[in-house]
Amino acid sequence: MARPVVAIVGRPNVGKSTIFNRLIGDRLAIVEDKPGITRDRIYGISDWNGTSFSVIDTGGIEIDGEDAILKSIRVQAELAIEEADVIVFMCEAKSGLTNSDEEVAQILFRSGKPVVLAINKVDNMKRTEDIYEFYSLGFGDPIGISGSHGTGLGDLLDAVTERLPEPTEEEYDDDVIRVALIGRPNVGKSSLVNAILGEERVIVSNIAGTTRDAIDTPFERDGQRYVLIDTAGMRKRGKVYENTEKYSVMRAMRAIERADVVLVVINGEEGIIDQDKHIAGYAHDAGKASIFVVNKWDAVEKDDKTMQNFENKIRDHFLFMSYAPVVFLSALTKQRLQKLLPVVQHAAQQHALRITTHLINDVISDAVAINPPPTDKGRRLRINYATQVAVKPPTIVVFVNDPSLMHFSYERYLENKIRAAFNFEGTPIRLFTRRKS
Ligand code: GDP
Ligand code: GDP
């Protein structure tokens, strides 16, 4: 099920990133344990009363020239209108209502998108009175919050989740592999789509997906049905801010959520940059199968070590995605292109793989016999049993005497043993520890 997207919009310094960090706080803590994920997150996944959604802080889009601040918040607003299901429009009580708040409000208002108006920096009782002037913006009750104290966030989250769309029906049969191509502009995503399909099919076979203006391209190869997700979004071009990182990440988020397998396309000529990491990190967090596709391999001067060296670099940069295979190819010359779809198919199978409880427990018993759980203040973790509770990605719950005794390193150890036993190439797996009651 695709997670809905929530965007935070507002002028600089109202506290967007402070609130963003609070909203994804718990998740961040988990992810940060893993080396290789950078700290300056620009997206995250948040949960509220069992509803999961993606959050993006659209702040920090830089536009030069006169009226730069105003222009950049306009761009934020447009981006949010295009890509988000619910917009959190943030103002602040300290400085009160400003002209640029009113401008942004007009853009948001005309869009008809659900908007939740949050007034930050309501740090004390006196400030609660300051929120009344914001009624004039026309978005209903302003919600007073404080990023410093964390107050009002429950009300904000209630208002956001109330406005999220109902989950939509699955758009495709279960045997269709949904593939998203993501990556920075100019890495060759469109060329790769054309190369996969053969030029003539791109135009004729696009169908409108049920998700707003997404255009998906279905095709069949060797008896397997695939659909390329949101290939139209990829072709949208020409706006000055298209190159900004937030724009690409936000576009990619939606496609990733709808996909089973994500092709992280990297320009082989240029190597890896931080932006690649952010996008790939999102695919990982969202629990999707991933494949690194190093494109433009025709343009790289090679010797017998070039490929291995490049792969090593990918492994260094994406430590948290060691499961993802790497495919080198050229969309231009179609060199090695035929290697791609079999890898996609395999990753999709692993992503949907279901292991019997019996087999999982055999592996866990062996793992525990070789390397018993360490004791903590004289108490030892005891594992009762484990069972797979979900696919896409494979999710395993380990029932134990006391979850607080399960340390990150031991969980990692079990995960590695499970991976070694069942492969799971291409897909992240999730391990949860629960108390056996
Ligand atoms: P952004 O530019 O909208 O992302 O704003 P930031 O999150 O970077 O916050 C701007 C400034 O406001 C920082 O100095 C924050 O510490 C401060 N700030 C954030 N939330 C609050 C709040 O609830 N009360 C007060 N007094 N300051 C806050
Ligand atoms: P996108 O922005 O990621 O969709 O990238 P495009 O598909 O538009 O490609 C960007 C540029 O890279 C174009 O000029 C392509 O001709 C070029 N390009 C794409 N794939 C390859 C490739 O495999 N080899 C070479 N040498 N150039 C390529």
Residue 147 Cβ inside 6 Å of ligand 1? The answer reads yes
Residue 183 Cβ inside 6 Å of ligand 1? The answer reads no
Position in ligand 2 atom list of the atom nearest CA 295: 23
Ligand nearest to the CA of 119: 1
Position in ligand 2 atom list of the atom nearest CA 191: 7
Probe target for ligand 2 pocket from 182, 186, 275, with the most ligand atoms within 8 Å of CB? 186
Q: What is the pLDDT of residues 52-102, one digit of tens each?
A: 898 888 776 666 666 777 777 777 788 788 888 999 999 999 889 998 899
- 291: helix, coil or strand? strand
31 CA to middle of ligand 1, Å?
24
Amino acid at 24: I
Query: Annotated binding residue at 230?
Result: yes
CA–CA dist 372, 244 (Å, integer): 49
Residue 123 Cβ inside 6 Å of ligand 1? The answer reads yes
Whole-number pLDDT of residue 339? 95
Residue 150 Cβ inside 6 Å of ligand 1? The answer reads no
Position in ligand 1 atom list of the atom nearest CA 57: 4
C-beta separation of 73 from 105 below 8 A: no
C-beta separation of 150 from 21 below 8 A: no
The burial class, CB within 10 Å (0-12 / 13-18 / 19+), for 160 is buried
Q: Which residue has its alpha carbon closest to ligand 2 atom 9?
A: 188
Q: Strand ranges (DSSP E) for 303-424? A: 326-328, 375-376, 379-380, 383-390, 395-400
Query: Annotated binding residue at 188?
Result: yes
**Which superfamily does CATH assign the domain made up of 355-433 to?**
K homology (KH) domain (3.30.300.20)
- Are domains 3-160 and 175-349 of this chain identical in fold? yes
Local confidence pLDDT in tens for the 437 residues of the chain: 678 999 999 988 899 988 998 888 754 434 444 443 334 557 788 889 889 898 888 776 666 666 777 777 777 788 788 888 999 999 999 889 998 899 889 999 988 899 999 999 999 878 888 899 999 999 999 999 999 999 999 999 999 999 998 877 677 888 999 999 998 888 898 899 989 988 545 443 445 444 445 578 899 999 999 999 877 666 554 555 555 666 677 778 888 988 999 999 999 999 887 778 888 888 998 999 999 999 999 999 999 999 999 999 999 999 889 999 999 999 999 999 999 999 999 999 999 999 999 999 999 999 999 999 988 888 999 999 999 999 999 999 999 999 999 988 999 999 999 999 998 999 999 999 999 86
Whole-number pLDDT of residue 214? 59
- Residue 187 contacts by C-beta under 8 Å, 6 or more apart in sequence? 265, 266, 267, 295, 296
- Which CATH number applies to 175-349? 3.40.50.300
190 CA to middle of ligand 2, Å?
7
387 CA to middle of ligand 2, Å?
45
Instruction: Tell me the ipTM for this assembly.
Output: 0.80
Helix axes 68-83, 99-111, angle to 10 degrees: 20
Where along the chain do its domains lie?
3-160, 175-349, 355-433
Residue 14 Cβ inside 6 Å of ligand 1? The answer reads yes
**Which superfamily does CATH assign the domain made up of 3-160 to?**
P-loop containing nucleotide triphosphate hydrolases (3.40.50.300)
Whole-number pLDDT of residue 208? 46
Probe target for ligand 1 pocket from 76, 148, 149, 151, with the most ligand atoms within 8 Å of CB? 148
- 196: helix, coil or strand? helix
Chain centroid offset of residue 185 CA: 18
